[in-house]
Amino acid sequence: MKIISFNVRGLGKLDKEKFNWIKNLIRFHNPDIFAIQESKRKRVTDFMIESLWGNKNFEYIFKPSVGLSGGLIMIWDPSRFCVSGVVEREFFLGIRGRWAGKMVESIILNVYGPHNDTLKQKLWESLDNIMQVDVGDWIICGDFNEVRKRTERKNCEFIENRAKMFNDFIDKANLIEIPLGGMKFTRISDDGLKYSKLDRFLVSEPCHSSWEGITACTLDRDYSDHCPIVLKDLNNDFGPKPTRIFNNWFEDEKSGDLIKEAWGTIIQNSRADCVFRDKLKNVKVVLKEKCNPKFNSLNVEIDTLHKEISDWENLIGTRDLSDAEIASWLDSRKK
């Protein structure tokens, strides 16, 4: 099992860099289910979802935004999670079905919580009511737009009554929050001044018991004010990673000549499949020896910036940053 939940703060092909980053996020982590909040889209197309998911092996459901607010999307691999029904209410969207190899029915809900107190209470009551009707393993994820305790906010107003309503719902529904590894806060304002833990995974006790070593953690946030969060169990190995090709290899004129030369090397073997295998090996060796040194400096610079950003954002969880430190953090993000 692997589920990624992410408040994308707008999903559109016009924002090409963000769209491509989310595509790469899906390809790299290979989730069974991808839950999107705040798509800010009134409509989506099969082509758009296929482009995002990376292949044709998917199914999805969609809840449109109201104006430029909200919007929910859930995409999944039907070979890993077989859906038998859809759940939809005002503030959440979900699927009901069975994991491959599991007999118990599971319900996965994707939540985007409101800001208004009255609407928050409506959300908690709606979730509680539906959980009393549907029997199965529950996984509730998303941006709840609420915290559980004072330490989950920094430089933001903490309203104790709101936190109490949220905690009361969790206790009444017998839900367990999966602790998040990584970043302490899942949402950081663009100016680096306000921090909150708004995104989380809540699971029912039977679900928690049925999966071995269930864990959750935050992922790097490059093009949103929220971190993607991922939930997975220990047994989520789906085989070897696919071959990767980097576009910058083809931006270098000499790379094409090197590949052609490596591919044209004569292979002494009577079996066609072995010849094909050895040709691929030759190309791989050439790319590693000739191309990687040229582009490694760029990779090192990118990795260094990612580490700087991560270090600053982890430090935010322990103390306030000075103006100079905030400026350095924002500069690293800009680069």
pLDDT, tens only, 245-303: 666 666 667 778 888 888 888 887 778 888 888 888 888 888 777 666 666 677 778 88
For residue 296, what pLDDT is reported? 65
Q: Are residues 224 and 262 in the same domain?
A: no
| Residue 241: inside a domain | no
**Do 209 and 264 reside in the same domain of the chain?**
no
Report the mean per-residue pLDDT for the chain. Answer: 87
CATH code, domain carrying 52: 3.60.10.10
Within a domain: 62:
yes
| Lowest mean per-residue pLDDT among 5-14, 157-166, 168-177, 200-209 | 5-14
Greater confidence, 239 or 160? 160
pLDDT score, position 218:
93
User: Which one-letter DSSP state was computed for residue 57?
Assistant: -
- Burial (0-12, 13-18, 19+ Cβ within 10 Å), 264: exposed
What mean pLDDT do residues 176-185 have? 91
Q: What mean pLDDT do residues 32-38 have?
A: 96
Q: Which of 206, 232, 258 is the last residue of a domain?
A: 232
Which residue has 């591919």 as its token pair?
A: 263
Q: Is residue 242 assigned to a domain?
A: no
pLDDT value at residue 295: 64
Looking at the fold, whether 84 and 109 belong to one and the same domain comes out as yes
Choosing from 232, 263, 293, the residue where a domain stops is 232
Report pTM: 0.74
Q: Residue 117 falls within a domain, yes or no?
A: yes
**Is residue 49 in some structural domain?**
yes
Residue predicted with more confidence, 163 or 307: 163
Same domain, 214 and 313: no
- Answer yes or no: do 267 and 196 share one domain: no
CA 229 vs. chain centroid, Å, equals 5
Looking at the fold, whether 255 and 204 belong to one and the same domain comes out as no
Of the ranges 31-40, 186-195, 290-299, 324-333, which is most confident?
31-40
Q: Which residue has the tokens 């860099």?
A: 17
Is residue 47 domain-shared with residue 132, that is, in the same domain? yes
Same domain? 119 vs 47? yes
For 236-254, what is the HEC assignment? CCCCCCCCCCCHHHHCCHH
| Domain count within the chain | 2
Q: From CA 141, how far away is CA 45, in angstroms rounded?
A: 24
Return d(Cα 158, Cα 160) in angstroms, integer.
6
Establish if 145 belongs to a structural domain: yes
Does residue 187 belong to any structural domain of this protein?
Answer: yes
Domain interval for residue 105: 2-232
Q: Return d(Cα 33, Cα 97) in angstroms, integer.
A: 12
- Confidence bin at 122 (pLDDT 50/70/90): very high
Report the pLDDT value the prediction gives residue 250, as an integer from 0 to 100.
67
Residue 238 has pLDDT above 60, yes or no: no
What token pair was written down for 6?
């992410």
pLDDT digits (tens, 9 = 90+) for 64-97: 998 778 999 999 999 999 999 999 999 999 999 9
Same domain, 165 and 312: no
pLDDT of residue 293: 66
Mean pLDDT of 158-169: 95
In a domain? residue 24? yes
Whether the predicted pLDDT of 225 surpasses 50: yes
Same domain, 218 and 286: no
| Calpha distance 300→298 (Å, rounded) | 5
- The average pLDDT across 8-20 equals 81
* Same-domain status, 216 and 252: no
**Do 139 and 190 fall within a single domain?**
yes
Burial readout 108-123 (b: 16 or more C-beta within 10 A, e: otherwise):
bbbbbbbeeeeebbeb
